[in-house]
């Protein structure tokens, strides 16, 4: 499969991740019908748990849809971690990262147009990530940096382990999707959950301000965590095997 087609698959896959995951947070997490609040009306939003599952489901569905084409990275940190884990060629890294970031930005733009179609629309956080005053729970920069490193590290361990040639075949998308769900269940209150620089970049470009000034953390910490995860996997658990995109096609 030509690199251009695999990069295009990453574009569409990352679009789906950001549109589905961030869209659930922006449109459905705390849903209220237009107009004044109605006392005793049922709460219709999906809340943290729903958003967590939305992110996991985007990865699970795309892994089945494009895993056999591109490996379904959808995440610059994952691509870098796979290079460190010797499961992806460094020569293709740039094309994948550009496609992933572009997909996230386009998805955020489409989501912005949809969300702003509501008469009482207020941009607000727009599913951005942040620390300190911009953390959902007010967590410090150190706490946010550490949780992003740890969770991305374990995300890579799950990705590399579940796609290992010795692992049960056909279950990798389920393991990876559920892992991302768990990651969001843990860290939405801390950073609004990134573990993905592309996912963080798209919404931040529309919110500006602190979302952009704090964006560096959501590139540095996930990439560092992915490098650690790739190193651990390659050093202690690796076996000779084909690139990830070939494994996902099985």
CA distance 175 to 185: 15
Q: What is the pLDDT of residue 238?
A: 75
Q: Which residues contact 236 (CB under 8 A, 6 or more apart)?
A: none
Ranges in the chain, pLDDT < 70: 35-42, 239-250
* Residue 171: burial class (beta carbons within 10 Å; 0-12, 13-18, 19+): exposed
Global pTM value: 0.92
Q: What is the pLDDT of residue 40?
A: 61
Is residue 26 a contact partner of residue 112, using CB atoms and an 8 Å limit?
A: no
Q: For 71-83, what is each residue's pLDDT tens digit?
A: 999 999 999 999 9
Domain that residue 19 falls in: 3-237
Cα angle: 143, vertex 78, 142; to 5 degrees:
10
Residue 158 falls inside a structural domain: yes
Is residue 189 a contact partner of residue 134, using CB atoms and an 8 Å limit?
A: no
Residue 247 falls inside a structural domain: no
Tell me the CATH number at 104. 1.20.1080.10
Residue 123 falls inside a structural domain: yes
Residue 13 falls inside a structural domain: yes
Would you give the DSSP letter of residue 85?
T
Residue 25 falls inside a structural domain: yes
Residue 17 falls inside a structural domain: yes
Residue 250 falls inside a structural domain: no
Residue 55 falls inside a structural domain: yes
Q: How many domains does the chain have?
A: 1
């Amino acid at each position: 499969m030509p690199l251009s087609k695999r990069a295009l698959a990453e574009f569409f896959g990352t679009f789906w991740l950001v549109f589905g995951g961030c869209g659930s947070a922006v449109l459905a997490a705390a849903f209220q019908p237009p107009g004044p609040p109605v006392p005793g009306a049922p709460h219709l939003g999906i809340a943290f748990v729903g958003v967590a599952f939305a992110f996991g489901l985007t990865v699970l569905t795309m892994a089945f849809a494009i895993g056999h084409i591109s490996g379904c990275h959808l995440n610059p940190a994952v691509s870098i971690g796979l290079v460190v884990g010797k499961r992806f060629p460094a020569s293709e890294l740039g094309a994948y990262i550009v496609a992933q970031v572009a997909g996230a930005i386009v998805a955020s733009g489409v989501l912005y147009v949809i969300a702003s179609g509501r008469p009482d629309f207020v941009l607000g956080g727009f599913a951005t990530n942040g620390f300190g005053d911009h953390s959902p729970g007010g967590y410090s920069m150190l706490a946010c940096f550490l949780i992003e490193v740890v969770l991305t590290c374990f995300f890579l361990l799950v990705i590399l382990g579940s796609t290992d040639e010795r692992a049960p075949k056909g279950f990798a998308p389920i393991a990876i999707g559920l892992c991302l769900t768990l990651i969001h269940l843990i860290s939405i209150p801390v950073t609004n959950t990134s573990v993905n620089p592309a996912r963080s970049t798209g919404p931040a470009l529309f919110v500006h301000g602190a979302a952009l000034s704090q964006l560096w953390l959501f590139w540095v910490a996930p990439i560092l965590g992915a490098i650690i995860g790739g190193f651990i996997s390659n050093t202690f658990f690796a076996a000779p095997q084909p690139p990830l995109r070939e494994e996902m096609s099985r």
